[in-house]
Chains A and B, each alone.
Chain A
Amino acid sequence: METNSLIWLLLIPLFLSLISFAARKLGRSTQLVVEVSHLISITVVLILSIIIVKDVLAYGSVFARNDWLRVDSLSAIFLFIIGLIGFLAGIYSIGYIRHDMESGEFDNNKLSTYYGLFSLFLFTMLLVVTSNNIIMMWVAVEATTLGSAFLVGIYGRHSSLEAAWKYVIICIVGVSFGLYGTILIYSDAVNVIRLPHAAVLWSEIVKNAMKLDPALLKMAFIFILVGFGTKAGLFPMHTWLPDAHSEAPSPISAILSAVLLNCALYIVLRFAIITNLGIGPEFTQTLFLIFGMISVAAAAFFMFVQRDIKRLLAYSSVENIGLIVLAFGLGGTAGIFAGLLQALNHSLVKALMFCTTGNILIKYRSRSLDQIKGMLQVIPLTSILLICGALALVGTPPFNIFISKFYIITTGIGGGYIWLMILCLFLLTVVFTTFFRVIGSAVFGEKPDGMVKGEFNWLTLIPVAILVVMIIVLGLYLPPQLETLLNGATEVTMTGHPAQELSSVNIWQDFSGLFQTKAFMAPFANWLQ
């Protein structure tokens, strides 16, 4: 179905970004104008995202501008993440940045730059997931780096400028690899399809994937995985991530970690679909398993020795992205479904954790875990939210990540990857121990002398509380609309095109059936023998 909502979804945040940039000249009214335009921007993005997702649920996919923009079930999941996290982190931003204004970290100039870049950043990420033109996808990913670089370095400190430089130079190199891979795919597609304007569209390339040159597909996918994998934070190309995520203002860390990494992963997945249809899934699955596993392993090690709370969370993002990629590597509908569910769940929890860390920073003025003690006495509400987030992050029931991690492990065992899953469980135990130790000492230790009890403001608590409710609900119940969307996205990933009737696909039921099948028990039986 053709829809103008896609165009408005892109134009409104872009326009409001320009308003915020221009508002710096308004003197005393600057704060009011930029906060109102920011609020309109994030609200409109959330509402339009929900409308588009509803349309996708009804029609399978929607498109606009001669198919240059297209949203199917796969992109709808990522669009929903952008809309939701963008809104909640955006609300949190208002409270957090007000504190920066009060403390003198921000002036009117920085304020308008911050909100201008926030909306611009949202626009670029929306362009990534709505684009059907593979070159425009690349342009959009590149634009996310350029748009967010100044947000990372906005405090202008030595460490934040250093982080911004590393972020922009490493990601620009990485994404250039992505461009090279994209060009290789396009140039072969144009020889097959013969229509240059059609060959640039993902939906057309995927129809002709089987006719593409196998050697070129392999080469292009390696470029794409290395390139966009850099942006997604996969080990060993992750080096920019802990610096950028820890130095950025906390709401931006939340978006970088919960949304941007997924956007890069989304592009990898789009090209993996083409490659799988062209040469079979073994090649991409092997690469996914390798990169996923080493990312989880390296992140678990780095987390264990970490004493900076935001860097700890940044490495946790590397671990979770590794897990998602590992799930894709396990293959089949179950692996894809589990990976996509983990992507959604991780986004919610990581946004929650980074926002909570923002509250800690406001109070303790430090990220060092040696100085953050006695939170329960100082900021009790934030402490409870942090405990919920940490428990969710390590995969404890009844929180959402427990479900997706459980699916990943059971899918791996069901697929015969027993030793890999045992190693994975060991690494997840290391992560669990790390969080237990760190959060325990931060929450229950003795508070520093002279620390006054009290939260900063309700705007820094409400969005986090909403996220906690969501992660508990998703841990106990998967709403039918979300289930249908995940099933449809799995279908797109497996076949390259959306199912006509989204409700006809049901992988969720396959999961519940999995535990009763002999296929699930067989590897255990072999292993026990």
Chain B
Amino acid sequence: MVSASFVNGLAGVLILTSLLVIVVKSPRWSVILYSLQSLVLVAIFLALAYFMNAEQLYLWAASAFITKVVLVPLILYRAMSRVGDIEISKNAVSPTIAIALAVVAVTISFIVIDQLTFRAAMPFKPALAVSMAHFFFGVLCILTQRSLYKQILGFCLMENGSHLTLALLAYNAPELVEIGIATDAVFGVVILVILANQIYRDLHTLDTAELSTLKG
């Protein structure tokens, strides 16, 4: 019981850090907060590994630390240092509305997860709901933010949400599965960063509002 409460509590911290990634204006600070948030994710993996005696999760924690806490933030930070920490003054919605939408996402996730009856979901239902909400936070970040870099971070948030769900429900997955997901996320970020920088180099903008010539 203590274990479940601890993991569920950490999942709550994850929500808070995700929200900060979305609402902070400076993309550079968002990257730092994303790294912090990934550290919380690593802590959840370690807690699950310890309490459930699941040795595989120590490996997951190590790979998540390397890819999510260090590698992805480093790639984003270095890319940003080339173009500068460009803030987009106006987003699709205000931070207040973004937070309100986040609350809706959390509520929906709790309702949906509550419907599940299978055994693996039982002890960590709140954390599972948080992981799903976290996934939707990523979608929210992509839909509401106009900065290309913030949209990349939205993808990273979605990916962290999926990763947490997998850890909660199927931590005994083959290592190759976990490595595949983690590697794919890094490749995804690299491709997005290359494309964002090419757009900045050729079109001199990181604002998606200026990428709207194709219509109809």
A contacts, CB < 8 Å to B = 135-136, 139, 142-143, 146, 149-150, 153, 156, 158-159, 161-166, 168-169, 172-173, 176, 179-180, 183-184, 186-188, 190-191, 196-197, 199-200, 213, 215-216, 219, 242-243, 246-247, 302, 305-306, 308, 311
Contact A302 B170 (CB under 8 A): no
Chain A residue, CB-CB nearest to B212 = A162
A398 to B146, CA, bound (A): 50
Chain B residues lying within 8 Å of A183, measured Cβ to Cβ, are 162, 165-166, 169-170
Q: From residue B213, how far is it (CB to closest CB) to chain A in Å?
A: 6
Residue B53 interfacial (CB < 8 Å)? no
With A161-B202, A190-B172, A196-B170 already in contact, the answer to whether A135 and B116 are too (CB < 8 A) is no
**Interface assignment of B129: CB less than 8 Å from any CB of chain A:** no
Instruction: Compute how far the CA of A143 lies from the CA of B181 in the bound complex, rounded to whole angstroms.
Output: 11
* Contact between chains at B191 and A146 (CB < 8 Å): yes
Chain B residue nearest to A191 (CB atoms) is B120
* A-B interface pairs (CB < 8 A), number: 134
Chain A residues with Cβ below 8 Å from B216 are 242, 302, 305-306, 308, 311
Given the contacts A158-B213, A187-B169, A169 and B116 also touching, CB distance less than 8 Å: no
Contacts of B172 in A (CB 8 A): 190, 196
- From residue 143 to 172 of chain B, which have CB atoms closer than 8 A to chain A? 148, 151, 154-155, 158-159, 161-162, 165-166, 169-170, 172
Residues on B with C-beta less than 8 A from A165 are 148, 195-196, 199, 208, 211
The segment out of B37-45, B66-74, B99-107, B134-142 that lies at the interface is B134-142
- List, in ascending order, chain B residues with CB within 8 A of A197's CB: 174
Contact in complex: B138, A158 (CB < 8 Å)? no
Q: With an 8 A cutoff between CB atoms, is B3 at the interface?
A: no
> 8 closest pairs, A vs B, by CB?
A187-B169, A187-B170, A213-B118, A162-B211, A176-B158, A243-B214, A135-B177, A146-B191
Shortest CB distance B63–A (Å): 15
Within 167-186 of B, Cβ neighbours of A (below 8 Å) are at: 169-170, 172-174, 177, 180-181, 184
Q: In the bound complex, how far is the Cα of B112 from the Cα of A242, in angstroms? A: 34
Asked whether any CB of chain A lies closer than 8 Å to the CB of B82, the reply is no
Q: Are A149 and B191 in contact (CB under 8 A)?
A: yes
A158-B213, A169-B155 known; A176 and B117 CB under 8 Å? no
CA–CA, A149 and B190, complex, Å: 12
Contact partner of B184 among A142, A180, A199, A216, CB < 8 A? A142
With A142-B184, A176-B135, A311-B216 as contacts: A169 and B192 at CB distance below 8 Å = yes
Extra inter-chain contacts (8) besides given A158-B203, A165-B148, A176-B138, CB under 8 Å: A139-B181, A146-B187, A146-B188, A153-B195, A162-B211, A180-B161, A183-B166, A242-B216
Residues of A close to B212: CB separation below 8 A:
162
Judging by beta carbons under 8 Å apart, are B195 and A168 in contact?
yes
Q: Which residues of A contact B213 (CB under 8 A)?
A: 158-159, 162
Main secondary structure of the interface of B (DSSP, over half): helix
Write out the residue numbers on chain B whose beta carbons fall within 8 Å of the beta carbon of A162.
Answer: 199, 211-214
Interface SS, A side = helix
Docked Cα-Cα span, A136 to B184, in Å, equals: 10
B184 to A139, Cβ gap below 8 A?
yes
Inter-chain CA distance A200–B202, complex, in Å, is: 43
CA distance A169 to B149 in the complex (A): 11
Minimum distance in angstroms from A263 CB to a CB of chain B: 16
CB proximity of B193 to chain A, nearest CB, Å: 11
Residue pair B155, A176 in contact (C-beta under 8 Å): yes
Roughly how many angstroms separate A196 CA and B176 CA in the complex, as a whole number?
Answer: 11
Closest to A246 in B: B214
CB distance from B162 to the nearest CB of A (A): 5
**Known pairs A149-B191, A173-B142, A191-B119; A161 contacts B199 (CB<8 A):** yes
Chain B residues whose CB sits within 8 angstroms of the CB of A173 once the complex forms:
138-139, 142, 154-155, 158
30 intermolecular pairs with C-beta atoms under 8 Å apart: A135-B173, A135-B177, A136-B180, A142-B188, A143-B184, A143-B187, A149-B191, A150-B191, A153-B198, A156-B202, A162-B199, A168-B191, A173-B142, A173-B158, A179-B162, A180-B161, A183-B165, A183-B166, A186-B173, A187-B170, A190-B120, A199-B170, A200-B173, A215-B115, A215-B116, A246-B214, A302-B216, A305-B216, A306-B216, A308-B216
Give bound CA distance, A175 to B181, whole Å.
12
Determine the distance from Cα of A434 to Cα of B198 in the docked complex, in whole angstroms: 37
Chain B residues contacting A136 (CB-CB under 8 Å) are 180
- Cβ–Cβ < 8 Å partners of A150 in chain B: 191, 195
Shortest Cβ distance from residue A446 to the other chain B in the assembled complex, whole angstroms: 26
Asked if residues A186 and B170 are in contact (CB atoms below 8 Å), the reply is: yes
Q: Which residues of B contact A139 (CB under 8 A)?
A: 180-181, 184
Identify which of A166, A190, A199 contacts B211 (C-beta below 8 A): A166
Indicate with 1 or 0, residue by residue over B37-57, a CB within 8 angstroms of chain A CB atoms: 000000000000000000000
A521 CB, min distance to chain B CBs, angstroms:
43
